[in-house]
C-alpha cells in the first residue's frame, strides 16, 4: 500500500470537495484588524451553502438567540466577527466530510472540534489560526481512511491496542503518516503556510512554532477526553507532558466545558 504523500493526497482530494475558497479567503481577511463587518458578510454570502450552514449554526441553541438571525451581517453583529469566522470554517469542513455516519468519522469529527477549541484556548498569540489549525490537524487521517478504510481502521486499532507508534505504522503501510499528509492536503487547499506547517508538525517534540504547540496541546487533550485517536495514546499512557499540556489536562472543569461545547457544535450542524 505504500505510496508517496502527494499520491495519497491526490486520491483523497478526488473524493473530497475542495475546502471552500470563501473559507480560505475569510481566514486571511479576518487576520486584518481593520477589516469591516460588511466586507466579511459579503464574502460569506458568495457561498450560498456555506452561508446557509453558518446561519443555521448561529441560530442553533448553542448561542441561545432569542430572535432569529436572518442575515450574515446580522449574525456577525449578534455572535461577533471572530466567532462567526469559527462557525464558517467549521461549516466548511463539515459540508465536505464523507461518510459522516461511520463510527470512525464520528470520532474523528469530535476529536477535530475538541482539538480546535482547546488549541484556540491554549494559544498565546494575538490574531492567529489556532482554531482552524486545530480543526484541520487530523485531516491526514481522513485522507488515509478514504484511501483504504478497512486497512486504516485495522492499523489504527492495532496501534492503540498494542501501544505502537501510529505514525511509524502509517509510514510502514502507506509510505507517509497522517501529519505529513495533512500538510500536503492543506497545501492543495491553498490554506496559509503557517497552518500547513502547524498541522504537519503537531506530533513533533518541540516543533518550534507557537501555533504548532497550541495544536499539539489540543490534539493531546482531545484524545485524553476520549475524543478519537490521533496517535497520542503512548504519550498519554506515559503521562509525558509539557507544563502547558499538563495544565490543560489537569483542569477537569475546563475539559468538561470543552466536551459540552463539542456536543453543542455537533448538534448545531445536524
Asked whether the predicted pLDDT for residue 84 surpasses 70, the reply is yes
Q: Cβ of 173: how many Cβ atoms within 10 Å?
A: 18
Among 76-90, 116-130, 155-169, the range with the most confident prediction by mean pLDDT is 155-169
Residue 23 is predicted with a pLDDT of 81
User: What is the average pLDDT value for the chain, to the nearest integer?
Assistant: 86
Residue 3 is predicted with a pLDDT of 59
49: Cβ contacts below 8 Å, ≥ 6 apart: 95
Asked whether the predicted pLDDT for residue 1 surpasses 60, the reply is no
Residue 216 is predicted with a pLDDT of 94
pLDDT (average), residues 146-172: 94
Asked whether the predicted pLDDT for residue 110 surpasses 90, the reply is yes
- E strand or H helix that includes residue 18: none
Assess if CATH 3.90.199.10 describes domain 1-8+99-270. Answer: no
Rounded Cα distance, 76 and 92, in Å = 17
Name the pTM for this structure.
0.88
Buried b (16+ CB within 10 A) or exposed e, 184-210: bbbbbbebbeebbbbbbbbbeeebebb
Q: Which residue has the higher pLDDT, 130 or 127?
A: 130
Asked whether the predicted pLDDT for residue 44 surpasses 60, the reply is yes
Rounded Cα distance, 112 and 8, in Å = 21
Ranges of CATH 1.10.3210.10 domains, the chain: 1-8+99-270
Amino acid at each position: 500500500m505504500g505510496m508517496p504523500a502527494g499520491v495519497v493526497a491526490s486520491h483523497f482530494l478526488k473524493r473530497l470537495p475542495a475546502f471552500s475558497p470563501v473559507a480560505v479567503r475569510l481566514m486571511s481577511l479576518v487576520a486584518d484588524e481593520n477589516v469591516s463587518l460588511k466586507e466579511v458578510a459579503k464574502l460569506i454570502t458568495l457561498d450560498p451553502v456555506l452561508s446557509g450552514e453558518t446561519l443555521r449554526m448561529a441560530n442553533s441553541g448553542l448561542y441561545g438567540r432569542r430572535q432569529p438571525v436572518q442575515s450574515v451581517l446580522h449574525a456577525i453583529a449578534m455572535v461577533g466577527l471572530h466567532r462567526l469566522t469559527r462557525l464558517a470554517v467549521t461549516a466548511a469542513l463539515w459540508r465536505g466530510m464523507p461518510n459522516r455516519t461511520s463510527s470512525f468519522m464520528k470520532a474523528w469529527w469530535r476529536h477535530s472540534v475538541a482539538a480546535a477549541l482547546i488549541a484556540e484556548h491554549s494559544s498565546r498569540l494575538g490574531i492567529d489560526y489556532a482554531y482552524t489549525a486545530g480543526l484541520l490537524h487530523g485531516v491526514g487521517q481522513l485522507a488515509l481512511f478514504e484511501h483504504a478504510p478497512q486497512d486504516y481502521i485495522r492499523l489504527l486499532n492495532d496501534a492503540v491496542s498494542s501501544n505502537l507508534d501510529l505514525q511509524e505504522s502509517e509510514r510502514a503501510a502507506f509510505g507517509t503518516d497522517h501529519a505529513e499528509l495533512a500538510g500536503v492536503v492543506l497545501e492543495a487547499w491553498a490554506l496559509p503556510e503557517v497552518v500547513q506547517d502547524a498541522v504537519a508538525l503537531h506530533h513533533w517534540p518541540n516543533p518550534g512554532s507557537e501555533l504548532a504547540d497550541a495544536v499539539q496541546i489540543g490534539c493531546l487533550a482531545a484524545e485524553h477526553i476520549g475524543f478519537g485517536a490521533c496517535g497520542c495514546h503512548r504519550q498519554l499512557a506515559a503521562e509525558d507532558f509539557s507544563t502547558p499540556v499538563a495544565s490543560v489536562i489537569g483542569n477537569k472543569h475546563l475539559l468538561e466545558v470543552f466536551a459540552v461545547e463539542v456536543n453543542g457544535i455537533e448538534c448545531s450542524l445536524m
